[in-house]
């Protein structure tokens, strides 16, 4: 009998069994119990990239399979992310601005909301905040020992194992270092560590599957979107994921069975069938695909998604208004500051892969860039406060 579900089994003793959460838990469980990543059918898996499951495996190995340690780990990650951005705000703009930055971060409920889930978000926030701080030390402070470039390479590589959206930002860093005339040998150390950490996963998958694959779920998800559904939206509409017709998943499973796929639930050995289908669609709809890239990029800059509730739209819009427009307007004051443009470049780098392939329905992929943009936004609000102070009348002497 053909298995049609995609449900993971929660790790023993674990309370959370939501789909993605259970998937990360399961990969952490099999890493501990079987010494490798396997799906619930028992086959070697590359369903998710391994960064977050590895962190969970360490937690579960120390504390057992329980929910609170994972929540505490999330809280620690977001605290460290805020700390490095606070420190960076202080080093760039002074103590007052750093407190404004911290206030904006703490008020950003869209970030702290994910602390209650077994998601990659909080670990990724920490790694990206640490990356930005290390880049500041290397570029602005001109502190460029080999170990610091190696550390940055390791952090970037591991961040890409948590979320591959980090890959374009890592490539941008190599270009930034060239422009800033960082010695080639030190750039080589940075790139070597990025490739060593992230490349180890690619090598493992090539040995297992006979092809380069970052994650088999990414291939599978190509078929989870109804591409024609986007046509009914104007360019300026907000993002919305719509299923108007059945996707060709069953067709791919039939092909997989013909090729002796061992597990048609996950199609990991033959996930390339989904990618091939996507590539075929992209070639047949080339101009529309380019339009879709631009539409997705625009969607990542929008304050909310169409499928949010009215309350969530208001909250998201307010938080977006505190960060995105002020960060752009901060260019009026910071246009000659080198690190402002580095922040913008790395923030936009986070949008490359979501624009090329998919955008999360609730715009989760906007949040890492939003953290970066909080720095110039904090400076903008600080300058506004100074301007208002100058306009206020002086108190009359009694």
Say if 70 falls within a structural domain.
yes
Closest listed residue to residue 142, CA positions, set 197, 198, 186, 207? 186
Q: How many domains does the chain have?
A: 1
Environment class of 287 (CB within 10 Å of its CB; exposed 0-12, middle 13-18, buried 19+): exposed
Say if 39 falls within a structural domain.
no
Q: Are 284 and 227 in contact (CB under 8 A)?
A: no
Contacts of 276 (CB under 8 A, 6+ apart): none
Q: What is the mean pLDDT of each run of 10 residues along the chain (398 residues)?
A: 39 55 86 87 86 92 86 93 95 93 91 83 95 94 90 95 92 91 92 94 91 85 64 65 56 75 77 84 84 85 82 88 94 91 93 83 83 95 86 62
Say if 21 falls within a structural domain.
no
Q: Are 162 and 49 in contact (CB under 8 A)?
A: yes
Say if 234 falls within a structural domain.
yes
Quote the pTM value.
0.88
Domain that holds residue 142: 66-250+267-384
**pLDDT score of 241:** 54
Inter-axis angle of helices 146-162 and 184-209, nearest 10: 30
- What span, in angstroms and rounded, lies between the C-alpha atoms of 254 and 246? 15
Say if 333 falls within a structural domain.
yes
Q: Are 173 and 189 in contact (CB under 8 A)?
A: no
Q: Are 217 and 8 in contact (CB under 8 A)?
A: no
Inter-axis angle of helices 51-63 and 67-93, nearest 10: 120
- What span, in angstroms and rounded, lies between the C-alpha atoms of 211 and 323? 41
**pLDDT score of 1:** 25
Say if 91 falls within a structural domain.
yes
CB atoms within 10 A of CB 346: 23
Say if 23 falls within a structural domain.
no
């Amino acid at each position: 009998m053909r298995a049609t579900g995609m449900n993971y089994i929660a790790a023993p003793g674990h309370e959370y069994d939501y789909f993605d959460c259970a998937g990360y838990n399961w990969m952490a469980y099999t890493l501990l119990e079987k010494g490798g990543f396997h799906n619930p059918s028992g086959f070697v898996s590359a369903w998710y990239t391994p960064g977050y499951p590895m962190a969970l495996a360490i937690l579960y190995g120390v504390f057992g399979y329980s929910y609170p340690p994972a929540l505490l780990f999330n809280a620690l990650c977001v605290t460290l992310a805020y700390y490095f951005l606070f420190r960076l705000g202080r080093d760039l703009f002074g103590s007052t601005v750093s407190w404004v930055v911290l206030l904006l971060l703490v008020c950003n409920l869209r970030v702290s909301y994910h602390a209650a889930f077994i998601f990659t978000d909080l670990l990724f926030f920490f790694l990206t905040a640490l990356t930005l701080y290390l880049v500041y030390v290397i570029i602005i402070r001109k502190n460029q020992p080999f170990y610091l470039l190696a550390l940055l390479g390791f952090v970037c590589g591991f961040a890409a194992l948590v979320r591959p959206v980090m890959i374009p930002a890592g490539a941008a860093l190599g270009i930034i270092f060239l422009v800033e005339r960082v010695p080639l040998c030190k750039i080589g150390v940075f790139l070597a560590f990025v490739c060593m950490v992230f490349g180890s996963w690619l090598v493992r998958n090539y040995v297992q599957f006979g092809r380069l694959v970052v994650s088999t779920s990414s291939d599978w998800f190509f078929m989870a979107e109804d591409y024609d559904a986007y046509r009914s939206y104007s360019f300026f509409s907000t993002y919305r994921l719509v299923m108007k017709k059945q996707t060709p998943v069953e067709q791919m499973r039939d092909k997989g069975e013909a090729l002796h796929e061992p597990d048609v639930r996950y199609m990991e050995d033959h996930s390339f069938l989904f990618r091939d289908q996507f590539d075929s669609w992209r070639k047949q709809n080339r101009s529309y695909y380019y339009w879709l890239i631009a539409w997705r990029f625009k969607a990542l800059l929008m304050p909310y998604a169409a499928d949010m509730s009215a309350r969530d739209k208001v909250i998201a819009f307010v938080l977006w208004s505190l960060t995105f427009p002020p960060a752009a307007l901060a260019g009026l004051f910071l246009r000659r500051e080198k690190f402002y443009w580095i922040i913008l470049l790395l923030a936009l780098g986070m949008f490359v892969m979501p624009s090329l392939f998919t955008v999360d329905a609730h715009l989760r992929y906007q949040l890492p860039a939003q953290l970066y943009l909080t720095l110039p936004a904090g400076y903008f609000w600080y300058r506004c406060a100074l301007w208002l102070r100058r306009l206020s009348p002086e108190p009359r002497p009694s």
